[in-house]
DNA sequence: TTTCCAATTGGAAACGTTTTATATAGCGTG
DNA sequence: CACGCTATATAAAACGTTTCCAATTGGAAA
């Protein structure tokens, strides 16, 4: 409760200069004589002066703070992304205001408005689906917004993603390549475009290319969680035409799938083969270790934040819609070729 | 880039009142005639006025923002905690500025100062160890600081924790109760007081109470990760006096331990029994499911934030050092009694 | 010396609120 | 019908910076 009422004005008096000069010193403005700078710096140190970022924000109209809207930070996936964001934010001297939306439209809109009220310099948004109302708000935003791991559904917003369609195609194809005539697909809600359009269509395309029929029954929707993966697989195992190859839309679901298979007394990869998606740390925390599509969450976050800084600095931007490369990390949930 | 230059003054003109009146309406001050309030509200809606929180913060000296310092948000443990914090923060209309410290003293201090510069109303701190320098800074802080899942090493700071010593005692005792004469303890760095003092001494106390000798060899230190748990257990398995019961300081380490045991061809719980710590979601994502000490991370975060709001509102506080209850969740990594 | 220009420095006006003290209106009372 | 209240509304002063513009200073050139 002390030391904090020291203003730039106190420093100015202490150093025998004007507040404008102190401001210059604090902001590293070169137009200050070295001796003056030193004098001011000493006064700052002596007084323990700490610039008030709120006042600075009001005067300069910049807060060096960016908003981050995430469905749920306790989800390992978004936590990793957030770390990527925060790391490059720190690198560029920004701070992060983090909010959880639970992918709920009203919360998203409310959060967005709160952040704008707080005068953030920019926003990074993650969410399964871009509601039209939200996009309307985005359009009205006075500050730039970048999407991370979120499809830019035809709206012209800067975004960072991987090619989900191709990734799902690759994963399915790899399974088919192992001789399976039938591949199960267990993923999240289809309303979310990443699943409903991209992953799903990649899955179908792979089947088609291989001349295999698409069977409605081979697709089960869950909600990304371990439990929903487990349950989905149990349901599938209950059928006599159960596929012996499974592509799961999420590592967490893939773990559930593997355990459901093992709980039923079968072996992975001998009886069933499984491929996951995301390559979270979970992938190596299971036996057999999970073969999975590598979605570089940390990188997506980092690149999204970097993109935002570019926009904020009006730097040259080669491409607003960044597609990061993906690959499949082969581990033991797939038989050796 | 539009609509955002609308100030309280514009609203005042539009509604034909003074800005003070608009301010009252916006802040729900009761001293406004209903008809005036309505008139103002309409002007606000018509203009799409959004109060500038920065200006408000400068004038009122409150930012309704709190800082959260966390070692690493991509760690599931802290992510859960953060979610608890954010949820009650939202409930009380606060926002969260989140920063990762990697438990590094310099980053912690730097982050703290940045947050104070941004005029946060309070801070929630998580970190393995409280550096003396950091505590010095804490003491100088003009705003309250609450520790979450972080031991208040004799300094008189508000904090929310569980009783780690007792929890470790309970876990070890449960293992001993299963007939083990030797219990392995695999945990994080001992410099961190939670491990070095609390968990470790609970472990030793349980041995003592049971009349069992303490063996240096039975304790291996890792760094909380899956890999370090795996490695530690492999090392232990290499010895011919390897304990058949293991208490791991973290669920993630416990998973590593279980897999090391299984990889060596042994069975859990038949050959080895394992107890973890934290009850993260990982505990049920392994076979056998993990018996573990329940540390309610979400609750710790939520309670810490609630405690902070109490301090900020100058509410009556019964106890600044909150100790939440813990228990052991029995699952399949332990034999049935 | 003077003169002039560049390098420094200072002054004061924003920035958009909240808040305090002050004014005004409305209204029941005597 | 004037009086004194109370309930509302207003005006103006913070809040602590940045920033534009003007003023000053210091030296080099003349």
Q: Is A311 on the interface with B (CB under 8 A)?
A: no
Nucleotide nearest to A31 (CA to C1'): C8
What's the token pair of residue B119? 């005029």
Distance, angstroms, CA A32 to C1' C9? Answer: 8
The residue among B191, B186, B194 whose CA lies nearest residue B242 is B186
Residues 84-143 of A with CB under 7 A from strand C: none
Residue A302 scores a pLDDT above 60? yes
Residue A3 scores a pLDDT above 60? no
Distance (Å) from the C-alpha of residue A254 to the closest C-alpha of chain B? 11
> Which nucleotides of chain D does any protein CB come within 7 A of?
7-12, 14-20
Residue A127 backbone phi and psi in degrees, to 5 = -175, 150
Q: Determine the average pLDDT of the residues in A121-138.
A: 94
Report the DSSP pairing between strands A95-100 and B95-100. Answer: antiparallel
Chain A residues whose beta carbon lies within 8 Å of the beta carbon of residue B82 = 73-74, 98
Full-model pTM: 0.93
Query: B87 near A90, Cβ under 8 Å?
Result: no
Query: B292 near B248, Cβ under 8 Å?
Result: no
Q: Is A74 on the interface with B (CB under 8 A)?
A: yes
Chain B residues whose beta carbon lies within 8 Å of the beta carbon of residue A97 = 65, 95-98
Query: A26 near A7, Cβ under 8 Å?
Result: no
Q: Is B86 on the interface with A (CB under 8 A)?
A: yes
The residue among B187, B152, B151 whose CA lies nearest residue B168 is B187
What's the token pair of residue B225? 């990760």
Is strand C less than 7 A from the beta carbon of B8?
Answer: yes
Distance, angstroms, CA A163 to C1' D16? Answer: 48
pLDDT tens, residue by residue, A265-277: 999 999 999 999 9
Q: Which residues contact B146 (CB under 8 A, 6 or more apart)?
A: B122, B123, B124, B125, B157, B158, B159, B160, B304, B305, B307, B308, B311
Q: Is B139 on the interface with A (CB under 8 A)?
A: no
Nucleotide nearest to B18 (CA to C1'): D10
Contact across the interface for B86 and A98, Cβ inside 8 Å: yes
Q: How far apart are CA B213 and CA B204, in angstroms?
A: 9
Distance (Å) from the C-alpha of residue B92 to the closest C-alpha of chain A? 13
Chain A residues whose beta carbon lies within 8 Å of the beta carbon of residue B262 = 287
3-class DSSP assignment, residue A275: strand
pLDDT tens, residue by residue, A22-71: 999 999 988 899 999 999 999 999 999 999 999 999 999 999 999 999 99
Q: How far apart are CA A28 and CA B90, in angstroms?
A: 37
Q: Which residues contact A146 (CB under 8 A, 6 or more apart)?
A: A122, A123, A124, A125, A157, A158, A159, A160, A304, A305, A307, A308, A311
Specify burial of residue A120 (Cβ count, 10 A radius: 0-12, 13-18, 19+): buried
What's the token pair of residue B10? 């514009």
- Mean pLDDT, chain A, rounded, equals 94
| pLDDT < 70 stretches in chain B | 1-4
Is strand C less than 7 A from the beta carbon of A39?
Answer: no
Query: B138 near B108, Cβ under 8 Å?
Result: no
Distances (CA, A) of B196 to A206, A238, B150, B220, B236: 54, 50, 13, 12, 20
Q: Is A82 on the interface with B (CB under 8 A)?
A: yes
CA-based R_g, chain A, Å: 26
Q: Which long-range contacts (CB under 8 A, 24 or more apart) does A189-195 make?
A: A189/A128, A189/A221, A189/A223, A190/A221, A191/A128, A191/A129, A192/A128, A192/A129, A193/A128, A193/A129, A193/A130, A193/A151, A193/A153, A194/A128, A194/A150, A194/A151, A194/A164, A195/A221, A195/A249
Nucleotide nearest to A56 (CA to C1'): D17
Chain A residues whose beta carbon lies within 8 Å of the beta carbon of residue B4 = 116, 142
Report the DSSP pairing between strands B321-324 and B159-162. Answer: parallel
> Which CA-bearing residue is nearest the C1' of C16?
B55
- The per-residue pLDDT for A76 is 87
Q: Determine the average pLDDT of the residues in A220-229.
A: 94
Report the DSSP pairing between strands B184-187 and B159-162. Answer: unpaired
pLDDT tens, residue by residue, A106-125: 999 999 999 999 999 999 99
What strand order describes the sheet that includes A159-162? Answer: A321-324, A159-162, A145-148, A122-125, A65-70, A95-100, B95-100, B65-70, B122-125, B145-148, B159-162, B321-324
- The per-residue pLDDT for B194 is 84
Residue of B nearest to A230 (CA): B285
Partner B, chain A 243-272, Cβ-Cβ below 8 Å = 252, 255-256, 259, 262-263
Q: How far apart are CA A313 and CA A300, in angstroms?
A: 20
A·B CB contacts under 8 A: 144
Partner A, chain B 23-42, Cβ-Cβ below 8 Å = none
> Which nucleotides of chain C does any protein CB come within 7 A of?
7-12, 14-21
Residues 16-45 of B with CB under 7 A from strand C: 19-20, 23-24, 26-27
Contact across the interface for B99 and A97, Cβ inside 8 Å: no
- The per-residue pLDDT for B4 is 57
Query: A101 near A71, Cβ under 8 Å?
Result: yes
Q: How far apart are CA A165 and CA A171, in angstroms?
A: 10
Q: How far apart are CA B192 and CA A180, in angstroms?
A: 51
pLDDT tens, residue by residue, B151-162: 988 888 999 999
Confidence class for position A242, pLDDT limits 50, 70, 90: very high
């Amino acid at each position: 409760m002390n030391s904090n009422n020291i203003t730039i004005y106190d420093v100015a008096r202490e150093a025998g200069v004007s507040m404008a000069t102190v401001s210059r010193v604090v902001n590293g403005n070169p137009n200050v004589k070295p001796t003056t700078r030193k004098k001011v710096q000493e006064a700052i140190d002596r007084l323990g002066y700490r610039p008030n970022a709120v006042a600075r924000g009001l005067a300069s109209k910049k807060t060096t703070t960016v908003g981050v809207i995430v469905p749920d930070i306790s989800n390992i996936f978004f936590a990793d992304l957030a770390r990527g964001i925060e790391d490059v934010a720190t690198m560029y001297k920004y701070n992060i205001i983090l909010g959880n939306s639970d992918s709920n439209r009203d919360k998203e809109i409310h959060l967005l408005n709160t952040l704008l009220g707080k005068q953030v310099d920019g926003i990074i948004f993650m969410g399964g689906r871009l509601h039209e109302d939200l996009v309307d708000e985005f359009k009205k935003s006075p500050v730039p917004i970048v999407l991370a791991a979120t499809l830019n559904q035809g709206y012209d917003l800067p975004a960072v993603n991987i090619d989900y369609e191709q990734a799902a195609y690759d994963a399915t194809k790899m399974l088919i390549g192992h001789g399976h005539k039938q591949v199960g697909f267990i993923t999240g809600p289809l309303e979310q475009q990443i699943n409903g359009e991209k992953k799903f269509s990649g899955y179908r395309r792979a089947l088609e290319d291989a001349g295999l029929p698409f069977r409605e029954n081979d697709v089960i929707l869950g909600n990304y969680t371990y439990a929903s993966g487990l349950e989905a697989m149990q349901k599938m195992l209950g059928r006599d035409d159960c596929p012996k190859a499974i592509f799961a839309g999420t590592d967490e679901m893939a773990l559930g799938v593997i355990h459901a298979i093992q709980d039923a007394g079968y072996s992975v990869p001998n009886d069933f083969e499984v491929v996951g998606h995301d390559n979270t740390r979970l992938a190596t925390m299971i036996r057999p270790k999970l073969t999975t599509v590598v979605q570089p969450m940390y990188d997506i976050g980092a690149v999204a934040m970097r993109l935002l800084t570019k926009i904020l600095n009006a730097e040259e931007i080669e491409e607003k819609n960044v597609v990061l490369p993906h690959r499949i990390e082969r581990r033991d949930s797939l038989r050796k070729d």
